[in-house]
Amino acid sequence: MDPVSLLKKYYGYDSFRKGQREIIDAILCGRDVLGIMPTGGGKSICYQIPALILEGVTLVISPLISLMKDQVDTLKEYGIAAELINSTLSNQEFREIIECARNGQYKLLYVAPERLETDSFIQLAQEIPISMVAVDEAHCVSQWGHDFRPSYRRIYSMIERLPKRPIVTAFTATATMQVKADIVQLLDLYQPFEYVSSFDRSNLYFEVRKPNNKLQEVQAYLSEHRGESGIIYCATRKNVDELCERLNYLGVVATKYHAGLSDEERTQNQESFLLDEVPLIIATNAFGMGIDKPNVRFVIHYNMPKNMEGYYQEAGRAGRDGDNAECILLFSTQDIMTNRYLIEKGSDSGRMVEYEKLNSMVDYCNTGGCLRSFILKYFGEGGLEKSCDNCGNCNSDIEETDITIEAQKILSCVKRMHEKFGATQVADVLKGANTQ
């Protein structure tokens, strides 16, 4: 069957979204592919439909067990032969899947990157005809990516050990020029067809707020958007627990999601949100990858994220149905300290990169210019020529004033005081306050 017929048969769509057909045609011509498409752009269809046409099996490498399970369950519902291999399988289940794969019963086989160097998997990979390797969340291969995973570096060596090199495709929602170059190099993509869709989601309204009391700000916002489906992201599990408990106490129906909950509770809470049984979910960044909920009307960041890539991916979960949606970031200087602490707790490798990304995130929160333009420039697309008229800065009445000379005087005073005193004492000196 041709791609459009398969799209209609299994997915129920009459036509492809922008970029999907071009990518599918390139794969069917035998070319490697790099697809960078924002959250909700329909990346999975780009490798799932060719997998149904190509001879043999397509190996999909995916970073999250929950993401793999969601996609495989959906494919099975569509009537597509798919299965997954990860750490949740029993030995018996693993052996059965291996046997079925050898017998050619699957068109798509999802696998966690950690499996790629196990002897049992390498042996299987050498025995079955692999037509394509599709790398999902491909930014994970780069240390410049916002979610670097060393296990992704094993993909190239696994492909090298196959009897015949398959088509290699890589997909991600967010990638800077550096990350894009890393994906091509570290996965050894051969003269890939590259498709980079615009990062501009015109239906999303962006705003940065700096409230004195974040809880009151959230309360007020939710009262104006009663019954609407939304996500609130917090930096830590503790923030999630406290905010969820507080909102429930105030009569707001909300559930929560973070890695500290049991698998059963996470699954139940996620299902309640996806099925619209609960309109609001409060979560850490552990929630959302692969979640295809079209009617999310707002995403609030209770704390500033560590980087623009993570922020835009999470914010992009709003408005996937194309209708208007809001992305509100609540910023405070304490968020900077929290993120610095989280970076310090992480591994030493790549720490300087994380600090650079954090600085860009702080710049976003403090810019007086168009927020949409800032995002587009960050991802190498170039800013807008005029106001977007759909972000908090373009729609505000704030007037800009040049305070270069005042800033120079303040910095000069800080330097002359040998950088030993806080803002209050520096201000006293500058004002000539009548104090000691």
- pLDDT one digit per residue (tens) for the chain, 436 residues: 799 999 999 988 899 988 999 999 999 999 999 999 877 668 899 999 999 999 999 999 988 777 788 888 889 999 999 999 877 778 888 888 888 888 889 999 999 888 887 888 888 888 889 999 999 989 989 877 767 888 898 899 999 999 999 999 999 987 888 889 999 999 999 999 999 888 888 899 999 999 999 999 999 999 999 989 999 999 999 999 999 999 999 999 999 999 899 988 988 999 899 999 999 999 998 887 667 788 999 999 999 999 998 899 899 999 988 899 999 999 999 999 999 998 888 777 778 888 999 999 999 999 999 999 999 999 888 777 788 989 999 988 777 788 899 999 999 999 999 998 888 899 999 988 887 7
Radius of gyration over every alpha carbon of the chain, rounded to an integer in angstroms: 24
Q: Which residues sit opposite 33 in a β-bridge?
A: 169, 193
Q: How does pLDDT run across 170-193, given as a tens digit for each residue? A: 999 878 888 899 999 999 999 999
Contact predicate 377/383, CB 8 Å: yes
**pTM to 2 decimal places:** 0.77
Distance CA 175, CA 144 (A): 9
